[in-house]
Structure 1
């Protein structure tokens, strides 16, 4: 059969669920990966509501900087989800997405070993009868790649939960860490912050270091985390901002990134301590921050075609994150024409409620938005000039809080970027234009690919 990268992605995508199943993992999937080789990957396992990706990438960067100085770890592995632009971004070696040829080679090694992958997908039932679904398959592939590549340390991000997450087949992590918690994925994790904390803390294991950032929910959230850790015979160490992180660096802005980096620093040092590998040097910490990059998170890009236009991208996609994105944009906003590009399509979240949270936060920070461009990243966008019932609701909510904004609808992200550039050009070359793009990674990724091909 065709064993190309494109065919591998086609197979993975074909196993995407149409309807959300029971979140508990099947014994078949668990038994395939719960093996000594997985446990020997020396894993840092990270769960949370916001900041998981940034925390994972900071931890990887600190350990890579340490390895570059000392020789160990000589190779790092990192798994994150979802990807921003290309699927291979999920699986990184030494901070770099795995190349496509190796991605395909390793995928078809799994294909040959797992007959479940060759089962027929039943589109009427909307489920895969046997074998891993898309996210489970990505996690399986990551485990396989890290084992084959013989990485010395692995940083693994959960998908959405913890207790029943596909990544929680990890039985003996070295370190477990929970980032800031908030209300998200309530359909699967439960309607209260206590439910969510219970699920996220499911990654805690006996014998592993247990860390958490200082939680906004205070004693309620921390009590649940402490109880779940105690049941494993461990105690949670809550991590505040670390004053060893270098001040004034753009990588640590806004303040939430300082929080993520502090948790990552604690995780990296706990990993080194548990392995008896020494300590991070101040130079490792500085190098880890300086070389750190996580596209699509609090990213600022000058427009290549208009020096008076600047783009601000943040892949915020829940109520907590869009508020932080609004606050970050407010600190950047100057006397300029301001434009928002927004889209959010998700069966588990209310896009109208998400927009209301964003609009309210922008109003509360006294940011006046002159233009709003609503768009779609769906594979089947509406016809040009047309809008849907949901788009009408978005307009209504937005105008209720920002009545002076001019609202546009563009069916594609290309169209939204071009519309924004046209609006910016119409204001002339003496007026600065600042554009905030937020609402989803599925919006920010393609937009970033347009702005920085």
Structure 2
């Protein structure tokens, strides 16, 4: 990553100019990043800071452009194409000595290239997976690092235990940065605290028992919002003379939060689609519980259910989803796993 960016004229000193909020974890990374973006947007509308925000998340839902956002909006086709060919042509001369980046590596390089060109006031980065060896983990001086709920995922690369996975996630911690996380398995917290202390950091465990405005579709999103609120406030307090987040900022950030494909309910004609991008056993279980809690319409006949068999072997660990509909199909509901 560093060699590719150097080839594009972005050395480590230039990368240090980016003010980064780095987010890792198993469940809720994208939602947490989107909440951070929403909170900072509401704060900026009141104070003028941060004027320009970058948001990098993965994977995309419909188009690659969604992964690289500026002020909450995906790059336009023209801007994406311009940046893509700048990167592609810039790296073309070095294929023999340092190789060609793979898809996610290329998109990460593209994001750094764009955010440096655009001179964003904050760059919010979601890890692809892991943390220690993730391609996004090249920032030496992030402002805030945050770790969402940790569970089993990417076990072949990260290890088959919560402790191993927590070790990898904690790789985003950097000396001088704020280190945040939410309530975790005790063994995970122990590992996170140990890695934080090695860098002289005091790991902050976010209190998720307080009240938050808004009606959350799922308790998991509430936890993500708490973490995002603390991350946003920590960032603002380090850079903004106007002070931290206000109740108004928080209320507006939650009200205006949008993240398609995550605990999303869409009604099309007489069918209600419940959408969530569950991709591991932890996410699958949470999605199933969310679907079970959703108020169902008045059923016209007996409830029928059928189990989904996952094609992905990581998910085929006894986790079942259900598609529910009525015999007459007059008010059907569907659970769609993206």
| TM-score above 0.5 | yes
Higher relative contact order (Cα pairs below 8 Å, separated by 6+ residues): 2
Query: 1:271-307 deviations in whole A, cap 9, x for unaligned?
Result: 0112144111211111111111000111111123xx2
- The residue number in structure 2 matching 1:295 is 260
CA contact (8 A) 1:117 1:132 kept: no
- The residue number in structure 1 matching 2:46 is 69
Q: Distance between the aligned counterparts of 1:87 and 1:340, measured in 2?
A: 33
**TM-score normalised by L of structure 1:** 0.69
Q: Distance between the aligned counterparts of 2:272 and 2:176, measured in 1?
A: 48
Aligned residue pairs, count: 331
Q: 2:128 aligns with which of 159, 177, 196?
A: 159
Q: Distance between the aligned counterparts of 1:314 and 1:115, measured in 2?
A: 38
> Structure 1: any 5+ residue segments left out of the alignment?
1-25, 120-127, 363-368, 372-423, 439-443, 445-453
Secondary structure of 1:53's counterpart equals helix
Mark the CA change 1:170 to 1:344 in structure 2 (over 3 Å): closer, same or farther.
farther
Secondary structure of 2:319's counterpart equals helix
Residues 1:328 and 2:290 are matched in the alignment: yes
- What value does the CA root-mean-square deviation take over the aligned residues? 2.3
CA contact (8 A) 1:341 1:437 kept: no
Q: Distance between the aligned counterparts of 1:113 and 1:190, measured in 2?
A: 36
Q: How does 1:75-154 map to 2 (within 5 A)?
A: 75-115=52-92, 130-154=99-123
Q: Distance between the aligned counterparts of 1:52 and 1:342, measured in 2?
A: 25
Q: Distance between the aligned counterparts of 2:114 and 2:309, measured in 1?
A: 34
CA contact (8 A) 1:55 1:264 kept: yes
- The residue number in structure 2 matching 1:51 is 28
Q: 1:243 aligns with which of 210, 231, 251?
A: 210
Secondary structure of 2:151's counterpart equals coil
Q: Distance between the aligned counterparts of 1:340 and 1:240, measured in 2?
A: 38
> Structure 2: any 5+ residue segments left out of the alignment?
none
Residues 1:232 and 2:199 are matched in the alignment: yes
CA contact (8 A) 2:279 2:315 kept: no
Q: How does 1:333-412 map to 2 (within 5 A)?
A: 334=296, 336=299, 337=303, 342=308, 344-346=310-312, 349-353=313-317, 356-359=318-321
- The residue number in structure 1 matching 2:18 is 41
Query: 1:163-218 deviations in whole A, cap 9, x for unaligned?
Result: 00000111110000000000110000011111000000000000100001111x12
CA contact (8 A) 1:116 1:132 kept: no
- The residue number in structure 2 matching 1:316 is 278
Q: Which is richer in helix?
A: 1
The CA deviation at 1:118 is 5.7
Q: Which has the larger radius of gyration?
A: 1
**TM-score normalised by L of structure 2:** 0.91
